[in-house]
Amino acid sequence: MPAMSLSSRLNKAVRQQYLNLPQGEKSQITYIWIDGTGEGLRNKTRTLDFEPKSLDEIPEWNFDGSSTYQSEGSNSDMYLIPVRMFRDPFTLDPNKLVLCEVLKYNRLPAETNHRASCMKVMEEIKEHCMWFGMEQEFTLLGIDGHPFSWPTNGFPRPQGPYYCGVGADSAYGRDIVECHYKACLFAGINIYGTNAEVMPSQWEFQVGPCEGIEMGDHLWVARFLLHRVCEDFGIIATLDPKPVQGNWNGAGCHTNVSTKQMREEGGLQYIEQAIDKLSKRHPQHIQMYDPSGGKDNMRRLTGLHETASIHEFSAGVANRGASIRIPRQVGQEKKGYFEDRRPAANCDPYAVTKIIASTCLLYSEDKEESM
């Protein structure tokens, strides 16, 4: 049996009895934010006397930043600024989930608040109608850190039957994936789809297409929902880019990108121009594609297991071993989008989309030092 949390074994029928109780005109608002690690999510809930219909009706709040790796105890209050509202799939209507930016005591963005700077770039390139779609890979683990459903002392069959697989011997943890999918749809996440991945117990969901800042907002809340669903089932979803060493695939967050010009007739020339710019800033992108400045991705981008080497930039049509892949259909139709395969599973989507937008639409060699 996989190692599962004790909380997941509590009597859920008893819990449901309380969740079914009426709450009158009041609503529960769960505030969600990114903590000081740049990877972890935190949340807490308050009561409002009404059901909010817009962000303007949700008040700012605060929290103890010294307990989230975001401040010192002597000056610990941090501000929560609501930026995006979703329906709550756990406590249901009229309750809400609210994604927040974090500001420091002086009301400047916290160090791991990359949304603020991303928003500035997205406003600057707004006329290009830049769309993103991100493919979030993750791996299911028991609470002991062992891959879910893997033999206690050994390994499952080699990779081969698991990608988009079906059957108890190929698909591990589908219940979690399907519950997460439904939770995303209920909440209002722009989820595109899901599939089992190459390594057993590894899955992927896709969010998008989203324009501009919406990409980061929707992906972060989709991640929150994933962790929350896994909590109910008593296991863990890790976004570690290489959770199992050896001949097993890592986990990425492939990012699909297009502008209005790329999607129109003859758009391939604009895709090629963007790829040329990306080739000139490979080290800068690697630094932004995981929260450790590239150290996490170094374990994943080896040139093996459908990755390009972290040390080299490459591009190609239908090439999953390249840094940038142009889908075959795009090559044939001469328009569409490209896929940046370098971002790690634990990347910050605000940092990723910001640097892609900056490089593709604002970059010139004369401006390099200011970027």
Sketch the domain layout of the chain as residue ranges.
Answer: 6-112, 122-367
* CATH placement of domain 6-112: 3.10.20.70
| pLDDT tens, residue by residue, 261-315 | 999 999 999 999 999 999 999 999 999 999 999 999 999 999 999 999 999 999 9
pLDDT value at 253 more than 60: yes
pLDDT value at 365 more than 70: no
pLDDT at 47: 98
Binned at pLDDT 50, 70 and 90, residue 368 comes out as: low
How many angstroms separate the CA atoms of 203 and 41, rounded?
A: 20
Binned at pLDDT 50, 70 and 90, residue 36 comes out as: very high
Domain 122-367: CATH architecture, name and number where available: 2-Layer Sandwich (3.30)
| Token duo for residue 366 | 């004369």
| pLDDT tens, residue by residue, 189-215 | 999 999 999 999 999 999 999 999 999
Arithmetic mean of pLDDT, 49-62: 98
Percent of the chain with pLDDT over 70: 98
- Is 6-112's fold the same as 122-367's? no
How many angstroms separate the CA atoms of 327 and 330, rounded?
A: 5
pLDDT value at 159 more than 60: yes
pLDDT at 369: 52
User: Is 207 in contact with 222 (CB distance < 8 Å)?
Assistant: yes
Q: Kindly give, in sequence order, each residue whose CB lies less than 8 Å from that of residue 209, ignoring residues fewer than 6 positions away.
A: 131, 132, 133, 190, 192, 256, 258
Q: What are phi and psi of 291, to 5 degrees?
A: -75, 0
**Strand, coil or helix: 339:** strand
Arithmetic mean of pLDDT, 94-101: 98
pLDDT at 29: 98
User: Is 213 in contact with 122 (CB distance < 8 Å)?
Assistant: yes
pLDDT at 199: 97
Percent of the chain with pLDDT over 90: 93
The average confidence (pLDDT) of the chain is 95
User: What dihedral do alpha carbons 285, 287, 289, 290 form, nearest 10°?
Assistant: 180
pLDDT at 1: 65
